[in-house]
Structure 1
């Protein structure tokens, strides 16, 4: 996959097919981008599970926070990553260790590691990097027109 430019159909297929999204790096701080994205996704009807070891057991936007992806006791369709690029590889490792494995790993703005993405794609996981579902979501409406 060329991670410099994603086909609209690729993004739309992802946003249409996923239902349960784990947000790694979720924050209770309303000024943080992860909080805004979580709120947006919840508003669009997605089931969102916040992941942040520093807030495990607490709630963010009414959703119970888990410490790690492995702590989630239901299948995840997508992992949305709010971590620095050097940490993306470790998140990919966590995702690849899950069973069942999520179909998508999404790195938010500024999050990119092509080598880690290649590892995920080699086992069939779709990857989006340096994008946000919030800014990509309007494509769904345009694709229906």
Structure 2
């Protein structure tokens, strides 16, 4: 799904409940902080992943160093929201494939054809170059608790 339709994006966001944020940040001025903040406020369970902040708490969860450090049962991770530059994505493939989320969402400005192809071959949906916050708002999706 290189360019998903609005209905496909809405389905992805409506189906997701648990979102790991790869590259989450504590600085409220950075998209890697205010996007997961928005998603948490919209009712998603947000699991922050960044080795720099491991052990700190945000969004009701503790930062972990890697996706494989999350304490989740298989199939429990709906989406990985990625805030990492394209040149770092291939290095995250082993951990993403190990946790096997339903969707990997690459934030605005992030594209990587080989990375996306590898994930799709593993039956993981990929959204590239889209902001989850902007798409959730644009599509007029309700908060999960509404």
The TM-score normalised by the length of structure 1 is 0.89
Instruction: Give the Cα separation in 1 of the matches to 2:61 and 2:10.
Output: 25
In structure 2, the partner of 1:102 is 101
Equivalenced residue count is: 138
Q: Which runs of 5+ in 2 are unaligned?
A: 142-146
RMSD, aligned CA: 1.4
C-alpha displacement of 1:141: 2.7
In structure 1, the partner of 2:29 is 31
Checking the alignment, whether the CA contact within 8 Å between 2:47 and 2:59 is kept in structure 1 is no
Q: Which runs of 5+ in 1 are unaligned?
A: none
In structure 1, the partner of 2:118 is 119
In structure 2, the partner of 1:63 is 61
- Name the SS of the counterpart of 2:104 in structure 1: strand
User: Is residue 14 of structure 1 aligned with residue 12 of structure 2?
Assistant: yes
C-alpha displacement of 1:139: 4.5
Q: Which ranges of 4 or more aligned residues in structure 1 deviate by more than 4 Å? A: none
The TM-score normalised by the length of structure 2 is 0.88
Instruction: Give the Cα separation in 1 of the matches to 2:137 and 2:123.
Output: 26
Q: Structure 1 120/49 Cα, relative in aligned 2: closer, same or farther at 3 Å?
A: same
Query: Per-residue CA shift, 1:74-124, capped at 9, x if unaligned?
Result: 1211000000011122223321122xx210001111111011101111121
